[in-house]
Amino acid sequence: MGQYHKFVNFDKKEFITPHKFGNGLKLWEQVGWESSFSNVVHFLLAKCSGRGGGDFQSQMAGRWGGDRVSLVGDYAEWADFPFLSISEFKSMMKAVWGSDEDTLEVTVELHPRDSKGRFAKKVHLSKSGFLSARQGWKDVSDVVAKAFAKEFEIEYTGDGWKHIVSAENNKEVSPSMRPDFVVTTR
C-alpha cells in the first residue's frame, strides 16, 4: 500500500489533506503536474507573496511561511520530530491520522469494588471522546483549497478525493500519475 502523507504545521497546529486538493496521499501522487499538492505547499510557504509582479495575490499565500512544517507520513515515529514531546507527537498523529473507527482506551475507577474485587474496568470512547484529544489541531484543507482554487482559477468538485476542473475550459485537470502507479526505469 505504501505510506500516506499530509502537510502539517506544528506551530499553528494545522494540517491539510491532499485528497481535498484532488491529489493522492502518496508522495509520488503529490508532485509533477499542474495542480499538484506540491504547488499548494509552495503557495502556503511563499512568505514574500504579493510584493511584486508574478507573486500570489491571495491573503492565504505565505500563511505558513517561517513556521515549523513537514510532510508527515502515517508511518512517522516520534524520533522523526525531535522538537516534539511524546505527548505532542501522539496528539498530532491522532489529529492528523485519526478516523471514525478510532477509539481511545481509558481506565475508570469503580466504587466500590465489583463482585470479583476489581477496582477498574476498560471503557472505549467513540469519536466524540476522541475529538477532545486533538488538543487544538485543525484540518484547514477547505479554507486553503478555496483560496488556492481562486488564485489558480480552478474548481474542486465532488466529495472525498476531489476532482479538479479548469475555470478556463471547464475540463477536468488530472495528474500524470494515477494511484498506485509504479515508476520504473529502463
Give CA–CA dist 57/77, Å, rounded.
Answer: 37
- What are the extents of the domains in the chain? 5-98+131-173
Give CA–CA dist 96/137, Å, rounded.
Answer: 8
Statement: residue 33 has pLDDT above 70: yes
Q: What percent of the chain has pLDDT over 90?
A: 53
The dihedrals phi and psi of 137, each to the nearest 5 degrees, come to -70, 145
Dihedral sign (CA 152, 157, 162, 166):
negative
Under the banding of pLDDT at 50, 70 and 90, the label for residue 126 is: very low
Q: Half-sphere exposure of residue 109, counting CA atoms within 13 Å on the CB side?
A: 2
Low-confidence winner among 7-21, 75-89, 90-104, 149-163 (lowest mean pLDDT)? 90-104
Statement: residue 69 has pLDDT above 60: yes
Give CA–CA dist 154/143, Å, rounded.
Answer: 14
**What is the maximum alpha-carbon separation in the chain?**
76
pLDDT at 51: 75
pLDDT at 139: 95
Statement: residue 107 has pLDDT above 70: no
Query: Stretch 126-132: mean pLDDT, rounded?
Result: 43
Q: Half-sphere exposure of residue 165, counting CA atoms within 13 Å on the CB side?
A: 8
Low-confidence winner among 93-102, 125-134, 149-158 (lowest mean pLDDT)? 125-134
Statement: residue 131 has pLDDT above 90: no
